[in-house]
A and B are shown apart, each in its own frame.
Chain A
């Protein structure tokens, strides 16, 4: 990723990943959205067109061969209760492990390794029935005891535990039945089982979790063979995979190439077969290059995609004054940022994309310099001074470029701010403790909006100086009520209206100055088949490529 914030470039990759892990541990929290891979039409219209059937093969799959996949980063292990999985980790995980649940083409959770996940009448208890006869790579059975152990490792994990605070208990209800009880109704819970939290690890991995972090044992389509951190991960075909006939490839080699230009060169030079990127220039270049088959997630709408914004510390003066926040939003010209830097991304006015069921038109304070100046004048008349503050970003060239552009826009409105670059881990600490004014951020990808509960809830908006997962510290009781309604309601229409209301409240409160949604590209050599055609166990379509996720389980080479 060109403008990310770390190895995983924190806000672009890691933040979303860690956020997803903590909030829901859901792969699909990162994997936002779905839909057809038809012609891309972002607001800028600058993404080249891709064929509607790109990455979808109807021919008879051919068995054999090795696939080399270039990833944007390296991960720090295979135990999702210890390792921080971003999109690369999720790809590694999907190759070696199975999740209890997966997300279908419409963004709905469907059983995967589980045969069924059945809630009780008020969604406070879930009965997970496992598939019979499935074995881990070490030959042990995937049974209730193993799944309980795996889920409990997540519940007890400092990393994933916060997302599962609503879980009251996980017990075996029989040899192949797991019961999960919740403290309050939680209809979105199955979605959480589609990612890191629902990844089922073999008991052998959990005897010594640290050792298991390096030698994964799952039940997935490929078996771990070798991992040399920062060089390659090799997995080989699982001949006993429970989905008969799959996988088609003999082996897969994942090669982390963090520099986006080097990754693109590796594909062009033929060193790798398929890669992902969210660099705007690469997205444009490859979608216009007929030598490669490319798909983007720009039209996917089944789940919520990662959004990019400037986050305001609403607990800190002068930002506790709504007029200042509104002035900042009115002074931000999204279209200028879009035309200069984030050319392929889609501008937004709410965390929900315009084709999401949770989206509704909102009265967001869009660019209007006159209004910004008027609000600031009113503020100055009251307080006797104009606001001055620090506008922070991380130590990345493109992020600095973007933030400097925003600084210049705000200057036009009469707002003086200083740009500050902060090292990544310090950046997180400052956000957690509220030691910042306004800063660039990326987050909120989710299969189900409930996964953003901890980030948006007033309950997690601690005062400055105390750790708070609601980084903006926006204490809007209406948002709290709507989040509760969205979490506990069994009626989908009620849930939709709750999250639509949250979108409106964000527009009213202005804790975030929205910029855009990231567009991801997956591009491959023409002989890489079926890379955008994941299926459920019954053959029906699953969630298509989102957030750069490449599922190697259904790929074959022609």
Chain B
């Protein structure tokens, strides 16, 4: 297990390196110059030259990349061109917000989809199965921006149950934190839970047809016990994989949701920085997101053997 973890970890290094090069090149090769954006229409040749030198934008791109990479390895992602705040500091403020949002949305999606999926698989074709399938397809077809706007219209503007925008810190106001993230989390969770529900249902149906389940039934074990102890865990295999893979889509969704709900997360920060050509902040955000995505999937890989003894045996 430790060897497997080490091998997988070493594979992360080239992935992260390639992501960093690609991000740096992509942003620096785009048309546009932050100097003009910072100076605005009043840019003069003197001002442009002065600021270009100040920001080291007159140096070759490989020099700038090398400097940036070296500093990044030391935890220094540079400072924002615009407000001179350290990128790491901006990320430190924004990342926990997005992580909270992602965790809440996963929790909501799983809390709804797992019981429904298991119950639907227990009686395929029953009213719970048919009803949940219909709703799941409907939710899958609903784009996040539409769901978000509808939720705001109903729960915030009309009924005043939740705030329409903004974020409360968990440490200072736990209740407010949950309220402020409820609608955004539900918006993100809606698309997820439909996928999880359908996936778990079909895997559970397949598992329940396995011989060892028949044996368990023949032994006279209670149906609920068989369902949760014998069938559920091996049926989670695909679900766990999709949870890991979905992190990417979820981060993409978070960009939109953070804008709709005015949440100061990494999505808002990245978008804002892209608009402002704030290269160093964008690079830092993209790198953190990419590394996070790779790490989540690395963790998922490590979880497989824990879920299913057969994987442990094959790998050993």
Binding site for B on A (CB under 8 A): 6-7, 14-15, 17-19, 21-23, 70, 74, 76-77, 82-84, 158-163, 210-211, 213-214, 228-231, 255-259, 261-263, 265-266, 268-272, 423-426, 428-429, 431-432, 443, 454-455, 467, 469, 471
Contacts and interface: CB of A to CB of B under 8 A. Distances in A.
A242 B34 CA distance: 40
Interface stretch (B39-47, B214-222, B291-299): B39-47
A428 B44 contact: no
A424 B275 contact: yes
Nearest to B260: A262
Interface of B: 30-34, 36-48, 50-51, 80, 82-85, 90, 93-94, 149, 152-153, 156-157, 160, 162-167, 259-262, 264, 268-269, 272, 275-277
A432 B36 contact: yes
B264 to A, nearest CB: 4
A546 B86 CA distance: 35
B82 A159 contact: no
A77 B84 contact: yes
A259 B272 contact: no
Contacts of B83: 76-77, 83, 213-214, 229
A519 to B, nearest CB: 23
A266 B165 contact: yes
Contacts of A443: 41
Secondary structure class of chain B's binding surface, majority of residues: helix
A338 B132 CA distance: 48
B36 A214 contact: no
B36 A258 contact: no
A17 B276 CA distance: 15
B33 A425 contact: yes
Nearest first, the 10 A-B pairs at minimum CB distance are A22-B42, A18-B40, A158-B47, A231-B264, A269-B164, A76-B82, A269-B156, A425-B37, A425-B32, A265-B164
B41 A471 contact: yes
Given A162-B42, A271-B156, A423-B30, 17 more contacts: A23-B42, A74-B272, A77-B83, A83-B82, A84-B38, A158-B39, A158-B47, A211-B84, A228-B264, A230-B269, A230-B272, A265-B164, A269-B160, A269-B165, A423-B32, A431-B41, A455-B41
Contact of A268 (B40, B48, B157, B277): B157
12 contacts: A18-B39, A76-B276, A158-B39, A230-B269, A231-B167, A262-B165, A266-B163, A268-B164, A424-B37, A428-B40, A432-B43, A469-B42
Contacts of A7: 272, 275-276
Contacts of B268: 230
Given A6-B275, A22-B40, A158 B51 contact: yes
Contacts of B50: 158
